[in-house]
Chains A and B, each alone.
Chain A
Amino acid sequence: MTTYVFRRLLWLIPVLVAVSAITFILMHNTPGGPWDRDLSSRQVDESTQKRLNEAYGLDKPLWRQYLAYVIGDVNSKGKFVCGLMCGNLGPSYRVRGRNVQDMLFEPPENKPIWYSRFGYSLRLGLIALTLAIVIGIPLGTVAALKQNSLIDYLSLFIATAGISVPNFVIAIFLIIIFASMLHLVNVVPKDWGDLRVWILPAVVLGFGTLAYTTRLTRASMLEVMRQDYVRTARAKGLNERTVVTVHMIKNALIPVVTILGPALAGLVTGSFIIETMFGFPGMGRAYVQSIQQRDYSMIMGTTLIYAVLVAVANLSVDFIYVLIDPRIRLNE
């Protein structure tokens, strides 16, 4: 088990190198550089641009820039600066004097860590995931126990709607209903300290996961219900409640638990369109902004963080399976 975990983790390295290389090459083919300003405002003059390029190492050949990014390089002052290997995501090209990792992970002064951009996205993702679990699992369970009942149809409706209607379309519907028509919430609130303003984005973000959880729980329950051990449990005279809770739900939740990791990763990384719509101060909006501003290092950094999250989450599925289901063994 340990060697297997280790091998899988080691395999992440070439994957991340490939992801960073692809992003790097594409980013440097992008027309327009980080020093371009809006056409309306004054442009950075050429000699300044040259000096900036030198300071950031943008005048060096591409392969050298890439190595500098991943491993590290001697900077203009003759000091060695460690790169990606040490967790350094490089200086932002837009916000002078700050590194990408600081911008993403460092909270504003005197605030705890979860007020950083990453913290905001993580919190939103966690709230959305909690919603999906708290509503999805009971709904799926009841739907399976009472097949073809009203609740079953409700769960089916939610599952179909949540999976097939894209979340930004749901966001549009909800914004129009709750903000434009009923004036209950501000679409773009100024203060995210008030928990009420989190409801709408969290619901929108979590709806797809909620649908998936409901569907998976229901399917898994239906399968478990037909198992021999459930019949045995009934046959030996256990009351229905024990059969359902101890024998059915416990086993039916195995596939549901394993998807939680990827689900959270999906919610944290997949939120940038929702974050942009609601003006949410998270990592997703930082990503969209950095693309518009051609902040190369920010784009690279965010993409890599997302890739790590997704890869680790996918990895977690296998491990969690082995941990909670003794019937499954890793056969590699």
Chain B
Amino acid sequence: MAVETTTSQGGIVDLGVMPKGRSLGSEALQRLLRNKAAVLGMIIIAFFLFVAVFAPYIAPHNPLQFHSGQDYLPPAWVEESNSGKSGDPAFIFGTDTLGRDVLSRVIYGARVSMVVGFIPTIVILIVGTFIGMVAGFMGGRIDNLLMRFTDVVYAFPDLLFFIIVMVALRDSQIGQLMNGLFLLFIALAIVNWVGVARLVRGQVLSLKQKEFVEAARSIGAKNPRIMFRHLLPNSVSVLVVSTAFSIPGLIITEAILGYLGLGLRPATDVNQFFVTSWGALLLEGQTAINAQPWMLLTPAICIALVVLAFTFVGDGLRDALDPRMRGTQ
């Protein structure tokens, strides 16, 4: 983070003082907002967040209600489908095998993907940052322990771990919480905090040699103050970028597990917060791939859109926070 400041007084370059008027953060924000792809990504994410929160008001139908005689409906714009039925404007994306409205189900499914993207991320960030910070700063045995743990986690193929955990503990008490999502959060957090910890550790290792840390220490700053006032703020940009890139991974994992029938337990009551997930919808759609491809396409497009949006934002954030990295990754 090289801030070039030229001062008129004696040519002393003070790297700690930002040019007046614009902070580094607001400059980065400006750069981010100039990036069209990143803005588009943010709009898409905001859209899906909105849809997820207000699902009951947006969804045209009850996602669990069977519309008898109106099953296998193609999307509204299809004149005649393979099964000989024509679209009904009341069901824009058609209905599934049981006559449930596909659009409403996809809208409710957005909730799971959004929550899976954000909640475990918060846990991962807090735990990973704290441990990475301590390991990098203290070194020694804690550091060794962390690195050995990292080796184990890296050798364990992630998805296999999630699958085994979900299979093993699905019917236990924890597995029942939040329709099975709680267990998924824990599994995701266990695997992913390690990456954050390693990242922060690396940052801290290189930063703690820098002059400003020495300066802080020389004026009597204690370890916790150095860690959280000096080292942490300097690691934030790296963390922000890596988080933006890791969220899609979480969303994809949930979708894969849902597709294998190991994700969210389908709810039977529409008043529950989590009714269905995109992964579960893919699984349902898979069974009728020839007759009703739209059942599969609608959630698939949503997953692709959200993941793409996060990638755009991640790219934008990386360019904005570290202009030197532009286009090199």
Contact = CB atoms under 8 A, between A and B. Distances in A.
Interface residues of A, number: 51
B283 to A, nearest CB: 11
Interface of A: 11-12, 14-16, 18-19, 22-23, 26-27, 29-31, 160-161, 163-166, 168-169, 172-173, 175-176, 179-181, 187, 215, 219, 222-223, 269-270, 272-273, 276-277, 287-288, 291, 299, 302-303, 306-307, 310-311, 314
Contacts of A14: 148
Interface stretch (B21-29, B57-65, B151-159, B233-241): B151-159
Contacts of A276: 260
Contact of A175 (B289, B303, B311): B289
Nearest to A269: B157
Contacts of B168: 26-27, 29-30
Contacts of B157: 269-270, 303, 306-307, 310
B155 A15 contact: yes
B156 to A, nearest CB: 5
Nearest to A215: B329
B255 interface: yes
B171 A160 contact: no
B307 interface: yes
A12 B161 CA distance: 18
B176 to A, nearest CB: 12
Nearest to B255: A166
Nearest to A17: B152
A222 B326 CA distance: 11
B133 interface: no
Interface in B186-220: none
9 closest A-B pairs by beta carbon, nearest first, are: A164-B311, A26-B168, A311-B155, A30-B168, A166-B252, A18-B152, A176-B293, A165-B304, A164-B308
B297 A168 contact: no
Nearest to B311: A164
Contacts of A11: 151
13 contacts: A14-B148, A18-B152, A26-B168, A29-B172, A30-B168, A164-B248, A164-B308, A166-B303, A169-B303, A172-B282, A219-B327, A219-B329, A311-B154
Contacts of A29: 168-169, 172
B164 A27 contact: yes
Contacts of B185: none
Contacts of B297: 172-173, 176
B293 to A, nearest CB: 5
B256 interface: yes
A16 to B, nearest CB: 7
Contacts of B303: 166, 169
A11 B260 CA distance: 34
Contacts of B123: none
B165 interface: yes
B289 A163 contact: no
Contact of A23 (B164, B169, B307): B164
